[in-house]
Amino acid sequence: MKKINPLGVHWLILSKTWDADGARHAIREAKRIGYDFIETPPCPPDDPVTRIVAETLAETGLGATVCLGLAADQDPTSPDPEVRARGEAFLIEAVDTCARIGGFMVSGITYSAFQKYLAPCSDQGRAAAVAVIRRVAEHALPLGVEIGLEVVNRYETNLLNTAAQALAFCEATGMANVKIHLDSYHMNIEEADIGQAILTAGDRIGFFHIGDSNRGYLGAGNIDFAPYFRALLQAGFTGPISFESFSSTMIDQPLLGILAIWRDTWEDGGDLAAHSFQVMQALVKSAREAHARAAA
């Protein structure tokens, strides 16, 4: 997207389902609030809902990404070549869907299964994941789609928990369209120095998720977002920033269990999304003003 720091929202905040009605509602509501793009799930490219999503995005002028987390039987780090092949095929299909709806990125836990592991990732597993992501990125490059590697906490992957790990992985793929996807919720758990982590990722950052420590309203948890936004500006990040939050009001198993969302962190997704849009605008503006004062 050409706009500096376009703001987005995850679809599960605005709709419980991604059928025709749910997709139309989420996209139109995101547009009404003022968002620039929406994160969508990975429907097959020839699914009728994908056509409706493409039409509704065109109607509203909203941008889009495809967000996902791979299942255990799609794990690119698996020693089983059939499991790795399923993961690669699923990612390539997501890339095709992203291109079909006019989206700009496929991101999330694209490099391993989205689950709690009971052992560290092996060197062989990491190398296998690098090879899968390289091939997927090669497929995505002529379609104008980037591949994001979301850095998440230790309970959701055993491979990329820090910005430094993600940077090394990006560089190992050798593909310029492979980008780092940072998330304040996960960084709050794993990073020792937020500012340094963002500066380490530097110009390989392609996407940023904002979410509070309790997955609820921004400001209801314990995260001070100002340092994140100042560091992003210092790193020269002009890319997309999206709000992500989960509540048991909107999600079911298996996602409910993987994320360990055991209570209603919020009930009104429209109100949550509107509040978060205002907070995000304020944070971006405040960071820019602080940066301008420091440069004066």
Give the model confidence (pLDDT) of 110-158 as tens digits: 999 999 999 999 999 999 999 999 999 999 999 999 999 999 999 999 9
Residues whose CB is less than 8 angstroms from the CB of residue 194 and which lie 6 or more positions away in sequence, other chains included: 187, 188, 227, 228, 231
Based on the residue annotation, tell me whether 39 is a catalytic residue of this protein. no
252-268 average pLDDT score: 87
Q: What region does 9 belong to: left with phi over 0, alpha with psi -120 to 50, or beta?
A: beta
**pLDDT > 90: what percent of the chain?**
89
Whole-angstrom Cα distance, residue 158 to residue 31? Answer: 36
Q: What band does 263 get if pLDDT is binned at 50, 70 and 90? A: confident
pLDDT at 1 over 80: no
Give the model confidence (pLDDT) of 73-123 as tens digits: 999 999 999 999 999 999 999 999 999 999 999 999 999 999 999 999 999
Which of 146, 150, 156, 191 is the catalytic position? 150
**Nearest of 182, 163, 227, 237 to residue 171 by alpha carbon:** 163
Topology of domain 7-295 in CATH is: TIM Barrel (3.20.20)
pLDDT at 291: 78
Based on the residue annotation, tell me whether 59 is a catalytic residue of this protein. no
